[in-house]
Amino acid sequence: MKTRIKNLIKIALKAIVLNKMRTLLTMLGIIIGVASVIAMLAIGEGSKKSIRDQISSMGSNMLTIRPGSDIRGGVRMGASDVQTLRLEDYEALKENATLLSFVTPQVNGNGQAINGANNWPTTIYGVNPEYLSIKVWELTEGSMFTNVEVRTASKVAVVGRTVVENLFPDGESPIGKMIRFNSIPFKIIGVLEEKGESNFGQDQDDIIIAPYTTIQKRILAIDYIQSIVASAVSEDAAEGAVDEITTILRERHKLSENEQDDFNVFSMDELITTFSSTSEMLTILLVAIASISLLIGGIGIMNIMYVSVKERTREIGLRMAVGAKGADILLQFLIEAVLISITGGVIGVILGFGATLFIQSILGWPTIITTYSVVVSFAVCAITGIFFGWYPARRASALDPISALRYE
């Protein structure tokens, strides 16, 4: 049996070598299809990892609690309905939540930051010192304000690199300098490390951070908080932390079982899942388009095998006349089809690796080649060879030896 298979492989290889150009053209659809599938999957996996990394860099296991949506059941809610978060809620979470490592109230407002003749439109965030730990953010100069400065509503601020570059274009250190935000003076005590653009296209360095008490009283003139930002003790604990926050706040707000939450809790996991699923759908779409080449390649294999059967009808008849069985003829042409398909697959994999490296190095797109994409490509090649080679091979094996020998 082993010798028989070996001989059939030799015959198939000889037939392929004798028709090199025709075989190469037949392989072309398979080569392009496999290379495209590998490159598309690499782009998809790379984009998912990039999304996860960028969202994770926005905060360590970050959770955000916001007031209930201002539109519910198609009815627009009033201002009082979105002022459901109070400092007491933050204090309750700080005191009772066991799955949170850091918690801070958050308020923010937009306006003009001014330093002499230089001004820049930016956003100021009011938080407490734990904000930097939640956001995994370091300082390059100076220091963060303290809880004492929060309690006394001190007019001190930590600024992002974009704000520094626009308010201090000469390159001088901003530490100790006074700037104004909507006419309120702030003393700069720290500069944040550069983070760059977020996954949403937002400049993360275009920011001013100050004590939330200062922003509440001096800038916004409000007594409620716009949101609460927290960090779960670990990534695995994030889901449990969401449930814990919900329980504590529902109890604080005295909501009955039949009443809806008047707040929303968002975790980074939800954001990552949403973006990853979108990226996955796009990857599937791209792979589906790339797979059309595999289908075309399979049809090409079927077509060339039909031609091969026609050209070698006398050879088939001769082999049958000297004792070859129909199963031998079937296996011979099937092996030939699979060899064409798998050889095309190998070339396609090499081309796919090359295309992926080109995309990563020249275009700068994140890519990850996974083992399963190569395994799937080979499996598809083998299946394509068997599927599209079967019918021509079956037809060859069913030829009548006498008729085949008389064929011209």
The pLDDT tens digits of the residues spanning 114-147 come to 998 999 999 999 999 999 999 889 999 999 999 9
Q: What is the mean pLDDT of the chain?
A: 81
Helix residue ranges, H only, 218-325: 238-252, 268-311, 313-321
Average pLDDT, stretch 92-113? 94
Measure the CA–CA gap between 217 and 272, rounded to whole angstroms: 35
pLDDT at 406: 56
328-373 confidence digits (pLDDT tens): 777 777 787 788 888 888 888 899 899 888 888 887 788 888 787 7
Per-residue pLDDT at 212 exceeds 50:
yes
Which carries the bigger pLDDT value, residue 145 or residue 278? Answer: 145
pLDDT at 295: 76
Q: Which of 3-7, 335-339, 401-405 has the highest mean pLDDT?
A: 335-339
Give the number of C-alpha atoms closer than 13 A to the C-alpha of residue 90, restricted to the C-beta side. 22
pLDDT at 379: 78
CA dihedral (310, 312, 314, 318) positive or negative: negative
Q: Tell how strand 156-159 and strand 208-211 pair up.
A: antiparallel
Share of residues in the chain with pLDDT > 90 (%): 32
**Which element (helix H / strand E) includes 51?**
helix 20-57
160-172 confidence digits (pLDDT tens): 999 999 999 988 8
Helix, strand, coil percentages for the chain (3-state, nearest 5)? 55, 20, 25
CA proximity to 389, closest of 303, 291, 314: 303
The SS3 of residue 359 is helix
Which carries the bigger pLDDT value, residue 209 or residue 7? Answer: 209
pLDDT at 113: 95
pLDDT at 197: 75
- Hey, what are 30's tokens? 């398979």
Residue in the block written with tokens 């004792």: 323
Model confidence band, residue 79 (pLDDT cutoffs 50, 70, 90): very low
Backbone angles phi, psi at 338, to 5 degrees: -65, -40
Which carries the bigger pLDDT value, residue 311 or residue 256? Answer: 256
Which carries the bigger pLDDT value, residue 401 or residue 141? Answer: 141
Give the number of C-alpha atoms closer than 13 A to the C-alpha of residue 399, restricted to the C-beta side. 30
Average pLDDT, stretch 304-325? 70
Which carries the bigger pLDDT value, residue 71 or residue 105? Answer: 105
Per-residue pLDDT at 16 exceeds 90:
no
- Hey, what are 67's tokens? 């007031």
Which carries the bigger pLDDT value, residue 354 or residue 44? Answer: 354
Model confidence band, residue 76 (pLDDT cutoffs 50, 70, 90): very low
Query: Does residue 364 come out as left (phi exceeding 0), alpha (psi in the -120 to 50 range) or beta?
Result: left
Measure the CA–CA gap between 99 and 141, rounded to whole angstroms: 32
**Which element (helix H / strand E) includes 182?**
none
pLDDT at 70: 43
pLDDT at 7: 72
Which carries the bigger pLDDT value, residue 407 or residue 11? Answer: 11
Lowest-confidence range among 73-82, 182-191, 234-243, 335-344?
73-82
Count CB neighbours of 379 within 10 A. Answer: 12
Backbone angles phi, psi at 112, to 5 degrees: -100, 125
Rg (C-alpha) for the chain, rounded Å, is 34
Per-residue pLDDT at 205 exceeds 80:
yes
Burial degree of 183 (CB within 10 A; 0-12, 13-18, 19+) = exposed
pLDDT at 60: 52
Distance from CA of residue 232 to its chain's centroid? Answer: 22
pLDDT at 69: 52
